[in-house]
A and B are shown apart, each in its own frame.
Chain A
């Protein structure tokens, strides 16, 4: 094996095709897209160089700011909920359900394997107000409460998006964190218990610090996934009502392919990349600091 990996030609043969494919379908479009940020136009009317106009436009565009605000708000709330619920579930699996948790784990994990569009249709029907009344509104009607137009109200749409995302993903984070919790030595927990630590104190002083690495990995997973949310928004609300639930990804897509502004769309994409980078660096730095402390 060492001989094979020491052979430069072997490395080239093993790595070359994959690297080429990766370069052609990932790196080339990224560089290409970067080039578009200083251009105006689209393939039909042609492109003209416009310097930094797209960037100036971005910082003066109220729709872009509203998209950033939605993206950041959604990403932070969703990450807290996803990882929080996942951690809660993992504690449930390890400390209460113990060996009998596998059935529950499977059931709660199940939604993540469903296609997002199917889940979105399910939630549309659940919260439907018209033309037919969905189960949630029917339930409200039972208590004499009027039907709520969930998808016609900005705040309600936001929370339903969160609810859908949470339902779909908390099982995944539950399993991820469960695997982390299993690594905590039983003896350590036992000795903590003998020292009188129990319940919340045990979690706060032993479980939480020891599961910090996997918890922070989950945070990075979650924040990067939620900053780039696209399919669930398009399938559930399509950015509406108005542009109340339009994240940067959807705004970028609309700008490029509906409004035919490839240059400005690429600028939005670059800004989204920078946003993801900032969040990731921020979390990575916290990881380093916290792990050394823990």
Chain B
């Protein structure tokens, strides 16, 4: 027998089912929990899985200099894989759910979108208010500002790197080669080494960017430090013959086989391993690799056996060998949403103590001012500090002012230059087309 309430229930069943399913789906579609977008008494951090230095230093600060901040708002860390990190940031920013602090977008143009959308904290104003504006090294600050094309600071320099050719002193000495001062010297050295059965360069062709760095540096040496800015401003094109020349020079090294066999399959770690096990004479890399150089387990050639040569000058070029390619690694940014008292306290503590902590614990040179520099730094770290001190100005890397697509196309085709499978003109045409798309 069907009673009245039962019948009502039956009539309502589809409605209840529909509402239930809808609610379930809406829950699933909402922003992932733990994004920490409100000042809810925690300090959330999102970093790249591969970078263990920043989170390691933050954890160490949380037990020491930043213990009070940790007590007020405990550090809660999350991580995401490097290659997909920008995608993750885009999705979080799209939902207005960025962590309090996160590694900044690897592509400066994406970072500019965050700035334009008013999603990140203006750190120049904030640090001035907190009274710690002088804790950022001027050189690092200007590098960040140039990167985003802004007059104010939107990220913190957790690293301050210079780039250049690291070389194996023993191999060079055994072949009667001196650290190259000009591009022609470098090519001549590679020819001698190749003839002697030594692989001249180690590079990560699979990742692409260590190859495109060479193109960018060559352009800066040959056409001057503002040559890539002219491309970004639309005053010049990468397909102009003087720019193509740079890619051709690098492609010529690839065609001659100077990067070794199967360069397209060598990734970042494999390229470091090749150099640190004495299988290659030169290695173009940033000073962040010091952590690997100073690790005895990885470095079988010995830290004292590694020398540094700035990217060589190009004969008749408008750039100078003193203009050092510099970057701030992957800096960290602060989300505007959820930035309250606790987060400001963390910001102050990090800016005041990070530089000393990261140098002491990991040997990494950051863009923060130092209060207690360690007395016995490894030789390679001292070289880097000296170079930073002596450099009159710095230059950015090849893709620094490109669009997201331009950066991606450049880096995915960079390996082709090193394997000789793509010509300089083809490469520049692809990258220019990607940049033109905007």
Are B17 and A16 in contact (CB-based, < 8 A)? yes
Q: Which of A149-157, A165-173, A210-218, A274-282 contacts B (4 or more CB under 8 A)?
A: A149-157
Are B94 and A152 in contact (CB-based, < 8 A)? no
Are B25 and A149 in contact (CB-based, < 8 A)? no
Are B113 and A152 in contact (CB-based, < 8 A)? no
Are A21 and B117 in contact (CB-based, < 8 A)? no
User: A152's contact among B10, B18, B205, by CB below 8 Å, is which?
Assistant: B205
User: Which residues of chain B in 1-44 are interfacial with respect to chain A, using CB atoms and an 8 Å cutoff?
Assistant: 10-11, 13-14, 17-18, 20-22, 25
Assembly CA distance A119 to B359 (angstroms):
42
In the complex, whether B171 has a CB less than 8 A from a CB of chain A is no
Main secondary structure on chain B at its contact with chain A? helix
User: B113's contact among A62, A129, A260, by CB below 8 Å, is which?
Assistant: A260
**Min distance, Cβ A132 to any Cβ of chain B, angstroms:** 9
Are A131 and B22 in contact (CB-based, < 8 A)? no
Report chain B residues within 8 Å CB of A254.
Answer: 408
In the complex, whether B403 has a CB less than 8 A from a CB of chain A is yes
Are A25 and B25 in contact (CB-based, < 8 A)? yes
User: B90's contact among A57, A241, A260, by CB below 8 Å, is which?
Assistant: A260
Are B262 and A242 in contact (CB-based, < 8 A)? no
Report chain B residues within 8 Å CB of A201.
Answer: none
Q: What is the size, in residues, of chain B's interface with A at 8 Å between Cβ atoms?
A: 51
**Min distance, Cβ B415 to any Cβ of chain A, angstroms:** 6
Assembly CA distance A13 to B17 (angstroms):
8
In the complex, whether A17 has a CB less than 8 A from a CB of chain B is yes
Are A152 and B405 in contact (CB-based, < 8 A)? no
In the complex, whether B265 has a CB less than 8 A from a CB of chain A is yes
In the complex, whether A257 has a CB less than 8 A from a CB of chain B is yes
Q: Which of B155-163, B266-274, B364-372 contacts A (4 or more CB under 8 A)?
A: B266-274
Report chain B residues within 8 Å CB of A247.
Answer: none
Q: Mark B350-364, 1 if CB is under 8 A from A, else 0.
A: 000000000000000
Are B270 and A130 in contact (CB-based, < 8 A)? yes
In the complex, whether B263 has a CB less than 8 A from a CB of chain A is yes
**Min distance, Cβ A29 to any Cβ of chain B, angstroms:** 10
Q: Mark A217-253, 1 if CB is under 8 A from B, else 0.
A: 0000000000000000000000111110000000000
**Min distance, Cβ B251 to any Cβ of chain A, angstroms:** 13
Are B412 and A242 in contact (CB-based, < 8 A)? yes
Report chain B residues within 8 Å CB of A62.
Answer: 433
Are A258 and B11 in contact (CB-based, < 8 A)? no
In the complex, whether B124 has a CB less than 8 A from a CB of chain A is no
User: A259's contact among B403, B413, B416, by CB below 8 Å, is which?
Assistant: B403
In the complex, whether A9 has a CB less than 8 A from a CB of chain B is yes
In the complex, whether B419 has a CB less than 8 A from a CB of chain A is yes
Are B117 and A9 in contact (CB-based, < 8 A)? no
Are B422 and A242 in contact (CB-based, < 8 A)? yes
Report chain A residues within 8 Å CB of B261.
Answer: 129-130, 146-147, 149
**Min distance, Cβ B210 to any Cβ of chain A, angstroms:** 15
**Min distance, Cβ A231 to any Cβ of chain B, angstroms:** 14
User: Which residues of chain B in 403-438 are interfacial with respect to chain A, using CB atoms and an 8 Å cutoff?
Assistant: 403-405, 408-409, 412-413, 415-416, 419, 421-422, 430, 433-434, 437
Are B265 and A128 in contact (CB-based, < 8 A)? yes
In the complex, whether B50 has a CB less than 8 A from a CB of chain A is no
In the complex, whether B49 has a CB less than 8 A from a CB of chain A is no
Are B93 and A152 in contact (CB-based, < 8 A)? no
Assembly CA distance A21 to B409 (angstroms):
39
Are A16 and B18 in contact (CB-based, < 8 A)? yes
Assembly CA distance A142 to B116 (angstroms):
59
Assembly CA distance A226 to B98 (angstroms):
37
Are B412 and A239 in contact (CB-based, < 8 A)? yes
Report chain B residues within 8 Å CB of A45.
Answer: 113, 116-117
Report chain A residues within 8 Å CB of B13.
Answer: 13
**Min distance, Cβ A35 to any Cβ of chain B, angstroms:** 16
What are 7 A-B contacts with C-beta separation under 8 Å? A12-B14, A46-B117, A63-B434, A130-B261, A147-B261, A149-B265, A241-B412
Q: Which 10 pairs, one residue from A and one from B, show the smallest C-beta to C-beta distance? A: A152-B264, A43-B94, A129-B262, A130-B262, A149-B262, A131-B270, A259-B405, A257-B87, A17-B17, A242-B413
A contacts, CB < 8 Å to B: 9, 12-13, 16-17, 20-21, 24-25, 42-46, 57, 61-63, 128-131, 146-147, 149, 151-154, 239-243, 254-255, 257-261
